[in-house]
Amino acid sequence: MLKITSKNKAYKNIKFAFLFLIVYAIYFSFGLHHLSQFQTADEHLWIGERVYTYWHSLSPKNWSDTVLSDKPGISTALVSGITLFWEKNPQKDISNILKVESLYKSFRLPFLFFNAFFMLFIFWLIKKITQNFWISFWSFSLMLLSPILLGISQIINPDSLFWLFSTATLLSFIAYLETEEKKFVVLAPIFLGLSLLTKFVSVIFFPFLFLTTLIFYLLNIPKWKANKMPIDKKIIRISIFYLTTIVGSLAVFSIFMPAVFIDKQLFFDYTIGYSSMKKILPVILILQFFLIFDATKLKNKLSLGIINFIPKKFEDIFRFLPLLLSLTFITVIINWNTNLFFLNPETIVQYATRSSAFTKDSLFLEKLLYQFYSFIFSLTPLVIIFLLFVWIKQIFKKINMTFTSIIIQLFIVVYYFALIMEKLPSTVRYSIILYPLASILASFGLYEFFSHNKLKNINKIYVSLAIIAISFLSLWQIKPFYFSYINSLLPEKYILSGAWGYGGYEAAQFLNSLPDAKNLVVWSDYGGFSKFFQGTTYRRYILKEEWKPVNYYVFTQQGKMMYDYWCNKRKNTCQRKYVPLNNFLETKTPVWEMYIGGRPDNFIKIYKAE
């Protein structure tokens, strides 16, 4: 009997390993394709300057140079730094058209591989929290095979790592609350520190993790009380864990960004004093120390007194979250697919200019719906369907809301509220932190769906293969421009943003194929073009008298939006001195064109100069 059991277990493990191998095979086959044949914003700065500068600034006399950018993007330099072992002169080679493709591949590969194998840790965290292999594996698959997350994993940018470290932070924190395993006391501050080193917006975890502990108390104190568990010790232990997470993350931040030891104001500005945090964090610390005082000196009298005023069915209030989220998703989808416009579908493209001014006269609810626009239409239909499924079931109390699902849904809402308060528009890149969380919630929905009486006997391996196959189709639909993915729910005439570097290589190859390409002069509004073009490239919108005669113009939707933005600000200058972009787009026929994702407004066009 023992031998049979061992064989069954071994066979089961082989099947599981095969599923992981399929996901990795698809991830790398798509991820390695076209890896060196595009350039996005700021990548040349990371390759040619920032990564090299960071790794040559670790001696105390150079610590001030570890301030790399306004992100701060330190983890970007940490991961891609391994490339410096074989790329000795990236500053020089970034300007060499014969070496630029090799250079981009070298610096991007570490991100592609790091993200792939870090996802095993994310899988482990989800399994630790849910105790469910299938929810964990489906989350793993949906994340790795998400067009947006695969696309960002190909790019040398802080956002390439931000979604990983932020997800690890939140899940590690939840895992400690659910299990009280000591390893998470170490892991949570490490990942929060790495998240802070990646993007300053990670300070949102300072208040949110405290809010997470409060919700955990509200949901569990009645149970602890009924089971005669030491409530005061529980609260003290969790409070110390929260403070350790915050202080530990600041220590990790300081170790890897030693410039803060030279300039103490940097530490304040980039962490506890960033944006509104200088007002929020003191309030949180006061509340946190009040909880500790109440637990140690008053045996939770004040806390329990507050709890007693809360209705026993308090957890039902959290069903407002799936109600809000499902209504938001449905409203946004309907808005852009009918003529019953609640929101203006045309002005949304102004997000591409990083301006949210068009929402200044909007109601708060309208602003919230605008924030969700890019997020909703860049999720795969599979994820959207099962998000709505699980939310609708939660609304009508068909299933219990787990602590993890409450916290993830709350984070999505809080994150967009924070963007509105900071007057920041939500683009796909600014929402990158939410895509893995959506994958986890969709996996909850998938498991709930296939746990139904009539479906529960379907082999979960077949379900997994179907999920992988559908995800494969989403990637195939947009390859190789994964980060420009838009699902079929958004009408073809709309876009989420410009091509963000995609298509520039292809445009350059067309012009490089022309006779005497090295002597051609091209004006381009596109940063993704010039690194791959053999001839001379001009980019400034205002024409210069000393320029050589331009032979071709390269125009893009992203460039057009920026062009219109500057023209509206400087109308007289635009009419007299600017490159006549609109004249070409409106009256001339391009000699070459490409449409990213098949969307007419996401174009790259080449025009022959008159």
What digits encode the pLDDT tens for the residues 125-183?
A: 999 999 999 999 999 999 999 999 999 999 999 999 999 999 999 999 999 999 999 99
Please report the pLDDT score of residue 544 as a whole number. Answer: 73
Nearest CA-CA partner of 276 in 333, 201, 224, 328 = 201
Average pLDDT, the chain: 90
**Cβ(593)–Cβ(556) below 8 Å:** no
11 contact partners, CB below 8 Å, separation of at least 6: none
Nearest CA-CA partner of 166 in 216, 200, 117, 140 = 200
Please report the pLDDT score of residue 483 as a whole number. Answer: 94
31 contact partners, CB below 8 Å, separation of at least 6: 112, 116, 150, 153, 154
Q: Give the span between the Cα atoms of 201 and 66, in whole angstroms.
A: 19
Q: Give the span between the Cα atoms of 496 and 428, in whole angstroms.
A: 8
Place of tokens 């891609």: 80
Q: By mean pLDDT, which of 29-33, 170-174, 489-493, 543-547 is the weakest? A: 543-547
Q: Give the span between the Cα atoms of 284 and 210, in whole angstroms.
A: 7
Please report the pLDDT score of residue 569 as a whole number. Answer: 64
pLDDT digits (tens, 9 = 90+) for 25-82: 999 999 999 999 999 888 989 998 999 999 999 899 999 999 998 889 999 999 999 9
Strands 521-524 and 552-556: parallel
| C-alpha gyration radius of the chain | 26
Residues in the chain: 610
Q: Give the span between the Cα atoms of 520 and 574, in whole angstroms.
A: 25
Please report the pLDDT score of residue 350 as a whole number. Answer: 46
Please work out, in degrees rounded to the nearest 5, the angle formed at the alpha carbon of residue 413 by the alpha carbons of 409 and 414: 110
**Sheet containing 603-608: which strands, arranged edge to edge?**
536-538, 521-524, 552-556, 603-608, 592-595
Share of the chain above pLDDT 90, in %: 64
Nearest CA-CA partner of 51 in 68, 63, 70, 71 = 68
Please report the pLDDT score of residue 583 as a whole number. Answer: 78
**Cβ(79)–Cβ(112) below 8 Å:** no
Place of tokens 């010790």: 233
Please report the pLDDT score of residue 353 as a whole number. Answer: 46
Q: For residue 571, name the pLDDT band (cuts at 50, 70, 90).
A: low
**Cβ(510)–Cβ(535) below 8 Å:** no
Q: Give the span between the Cα atoms of 142 and 140, in whole angstroms.
A: 6
Q: For residue 351, name the pLDDT band (cuts at 50, 70, 90).
A: very low
Q: By mean pLDDT, which of 60-69, 294-303, 537-546 is the weakest? A: 537-546
Q: Is 124 exposed, middle or buried (0-12, 13-18, 19+ CB in 10 A)?
A: middle
**Cβ(497)–Cβ(352) below 8 Å:** yes
Q: Give the span between the Cα atoms of 173 and 561, in whole angstroms.
A: 41
Nearest CA-CA partner of 148 in 477, 417, 493 = 477
Please report the pLDDT score of residue 352 as a whole number. Answer: 42
Q: Give the span between the Cα atoms of 412 and 99, in whole angstroms.
A: 42
- Give the DSSP letter string of 453-503: TTTTTS-HHHHHHHHHHHHHHHHHHHTT-GGG---TTS-TT--SS--TTTT
